[in-house]
Structure 1
Amino acid sequence: MKKILIPVDFSEHSEYALEVAANLAKKHKASLVILHMMGLSEAVLTRDESQEMLEAIYYMKLAEKRFSEFLDKNYLNGITIETTVQNYKEFHEINSVAKDFDADLIVMGSHGASGLREVFVGSNTEKVVRTSEIPVLVIKNRVKDFKLNKVVFACDFNMDFIGAFKNAWEFFEKIGSEFQMVFINTPEKFRSNKEMQELAFKFILHSGVDNTDVYDNTAYYCDYRLEHGIYSFSHEIEADLVVIPTHGRRGLAHFFSENIGEAIVNHSDLPIITFKV
C-alpha cells in the first residue's frame, strides 16, 4: 500500500474517512491524495468567457481555503499529502484520478447509510464502487482506533468472484490480517453442509490460493437474510472489516433482497471494503 485516494466534500463523513486513511498511511508508510469534486454550476458554464474565468478562479480559491482548514489536523502530521480538484461531480471519474495518481486504495465516507443495501444501491458510493478498479474502503461512522487485524470475506462461492477473492486475499496477506471467509446460508438458497463444503473446496482450488487454512477456517452461517447474517457473524467473531466482492456492471443491487424488514442500524458500525470482480 503506497498511495491512498480520499474523495472529500469537507463534510463530517469525509473527515471520518480522512482519519482512517491517515491511520493506514502511518502504519504502512503510504502517502495520501485528497480529491475534491467541485461541481461548477451550469450557470457558470453559460456565462461569457471573462465572467466564467473569474468565477472559476473564485471557486478554486474557495476550494483551496477549505482544503487548508480541512487538513489542519494533528493526526496528519508526518504524512505526505497531495491535493487535487476536479471540476465536475462525475463519480465514475474517481477511478481515472486513482489511475493518474497510481493509488492502491480509495477511502471514502458514506452519508446516512445504515446498512449494506443503503451503502451500495443508488448512492454516490455505489457509483464509485462500480467503476473502481482498486479496492474501495467505505467508512460510515467515526472509527477511533481503525485496525485490520481480522477481516471477513462474504461470498457465495460463485466462480465469478474468484478474481475478487484472490485480490482480497493477496491484499490482506501482505498487511498481515487474519482472513476469514464466510458463506451465509439463507432459506431462499439453502445448502446442506456437504454442498457448502464442496462449493468452498472448488472455489478455493480454482482461485489458486495455496493456503489450506483458508478452507479449514471457512465458516458457514445460517440466517434469514444475507445482510443480517454478514453483520451478525462479523460481530460475533469481532471482525474489524467486512469484505464484499462487487460486479462492475450490476453493482450490488442483486446482492440483497428487495425488502429488508428489520433495522440494521445496530449492526452498521463495521467498515466495508469492496474488491471488483
Structure 2
Amino acid sequence: MEAPPIQYLLVPIDFSAPSRNALTTAVAMGQRQKASLHLLNVLDPTETDSRVPMPTLEEQVRTQTEAIRELARQISLDHQIQCAGECRVGSVSAEIVAAAGLTKADLIVIGTHGSSGSRAFYIGSEAYRVIKTAPCPVMTVPAHQSWTTFERILFPVRPVAGALEKYAFARRIIQQNEAELTVLALHPPDEVISIHQLEDEVAALIAQFARDGIRSRTLFQATDLIAETVLQQANELNTDLLIITATLDTTQQEFYIGPFTQQIVHNAHVPVLSIRPQASLTGSQRVEWRYGWRPQPHRNQ
C-alpha cells in the first residue's frame, strides 16, 4: 500500500501556551516527514470587547502578521524546516478550513485549549467544526504538553468501513516514528454479524501491517460504550497517539461530528488524529451503539 506523503502542515496559532505545544508537536512531525509548516493566526472581529479601548482592526492585523511571520522565521532558523506565517480575519474555524484548502494542507495540527481574547477558540465547537469541514485530517493536541514522538499508537477499529482508508494516511506517521501499533477491535456484545465483519476488517489490516513491516498487536473487546473504552485503553496502554475515524451524523440541513469523535477529542489526554472517511455511510451500513463516557483520570506524564 502506497502511503500518501505528508508534505504540508497547517498549524493555527494564537500565541497561547497550548497552541505553542501544538506547534512544537507539528515541528517535530515536520522534521520527521520533511514537511513544510504554515502558521495561521486568526483575528475574529466579533470577539472584541467594545468596552475596552482596542487598536483598530488594521493595526491588529499588522501587529499579528509581523508576530506570526517572525515566529515562522525563527522556526525555520532553529529547526531547519520551511515555515511561513499569515494572519487572517474572520471566523476562526472557517478561516482555518479555508487556509487548509488554499494551501493544500495534508494535515492540520491544532491545540484543543488555546484561547484568545475572552473565550477559548480551540476547544469545543471550533475544533469540532474544523474536524467536520476540513479538507484533510486533523490532529488535536491537548493543552498540557507537547509531543515530539509517537511510540505507542492506539488504533480503534469498529465494524464500519474506513479502517484501511484510515491506515493509508496514518502509515507514514506510524513508520516514521517506528511505533508499536495496538489495534483495539470494538464490537457490540452478542452481535454475531458485527463480530464477523470486524474479524474480516482486522484480518485485512494485519495482512497489510505485515507487508509494511509494522509492529502490531490486536485486542478484541465487546462494549456498548466505545468512547469510554477507547479512553480507558489509551490510559492503560500508556498511549501517546490515538488514530480515529471521525464519524459524521447527518440531519436534514447540516453535518454533525458524531458523539464518539466529540467525546474522544474532548477527553483524550494525548493527541488525537481524526480522519474522515471519504465515502458517507448509509444508515443500513451503520452499527447502532450507545455512546457514553465518564471522565478519565489524568495519566501521570
TM-score bin, normalised by smaller chain:
0.7 to 0.9
Instruction: Quickly say closer, same or farther: Cα 1:220–1:163, change in 2 above 3 A.
Output: closer
1:130 paired residue number: 132
Instruction: Quickly say closer, same or farther: Cα 1:209–1:128, change in 2 above 3 A.
Output: farther
1:168 positional shift: 4.0
The CA distance in 2 between the partners of 1:127 and 1:233, in whole Å, is: 27
User: Contact 1:226–1:256 (CA<8 Å) still a contact in 2?
Assistant: no
User: Contact 1:6–1:34 (CA<8 Å) still a contact in 2?
Assistant: yes
User: Contact 1:20–1:146 (CA<8 Å) still a contact in 2?
Assistant: yes
C-alpha distance after superposition, 1:41-83 (max 9, x if no partner): 599xxxxxxxxxx945312212124326755867961222111
1:170 paired residue number: 171
Question: Considering only aligned residues, what root-mean-square deviation do their CA atoms show, in Å?
Answer: 3.9
1:84 positional shift: 1.7
- The count of aligned residue pairs is 250
1:22 paired residue number: 27
User: Contact 1:36–1:86 (CA<8 Å) still a contact in 2?
Assistant: yes
1:236 paired residue number: 236
2:258 paired residue number: 253
1:37 positional shift: 1.4
The CA distance in 1 between the partners of 2:11 and 2:123, in whole Å, is: 21
1:273 aligns with 2:273: yes
1:174 positional shift: 4.7
Instruction: Quickly say closer, same or farther: Cα 1:63–1:28, change in 2 above 3 A.
Output: same
Unpaired stretches in structure 1, ≥5 consecutive residues: 44-53, 113-119
1:46 paired residue number: none
Q: Could you tell me the percent identity over the aligned residues?
A: 18
1:10 aligns with 2:9: no
C-alpha distance after superposition, 1:156-178 (max 9, x if no partner): 2212x346434345344553433
1:101 paired residue number: 103
C-alpha distance after superposition, 1:72-111 (max 9, x if no partner): 8679612221112222115134233223222221100011
User: Contact 2:242–2:271 (CA<8 Å) still a contact in 1?
Assistant: yes
User: Contact 1:5–1:107 (CA<8 Å) still a contact in 2?
Assistant: yes
Which residue, 31, 36, 42 being the options, matches 1:31?
A: 36
5 Å-filtered alignment, 1:140-155, equals 140-155=142-157
The CA distance in 2 between the partners of 1:183 and 1:204, in whole Å, is: 7
1:38 positional shift: 1.5
1:129 positional shift: 0.3
1:210 paired residue number: 208
User: Contact 2:9–2:105 (CA<8 Å) still a contact in 1?
Assistant: yes
Instruction: Quickly say closer, same or farther: Cα 1:229–1:149, change in 2 above 3 A.
Output: same
User: Contact 1:151–1:179 (CA<8 Å) still a contact in 2?
Assistant: yes
User: Contact 2:112–2:140 (CA<8 Å) still a contact in 1?
Assistant: yes
1:190 aligns with 2:189: yes
1:16 positional shift: 1.1
Unpaired stretches in structure 2, ≥5 consecutive residues: 1-5, 49-54, 115-121, 278-301
The CA distance in 2 between the partners of 1:254 and 1:206, in whole Å, is: 27
User: Contact 2:108–2:137 (CA<8 Å) still a contact in 1?
Assistant: yes
The CA distance in 1 between the partners of 2:102 and 2:35, in whole Å, is: 16
1:203 maps to amino acid: E
2:232 maps to amino acid: S
User: Contact 1:10–1:66 (CA<8 Å) still a contact in 2?
Assistant: no
TM-score where L is the length of structure 2? 0.68
Instruction: Quickly say closer, same or farther: Cα 1:206–1:108, change in 2 above 3 A.
Output: same
User: Contact 2:18–2:112 (CA<8 Å) still a contact in 1?
Assistant: yes
Local SS of the residue matching 2:208: coil
2:52 paired residue number: none
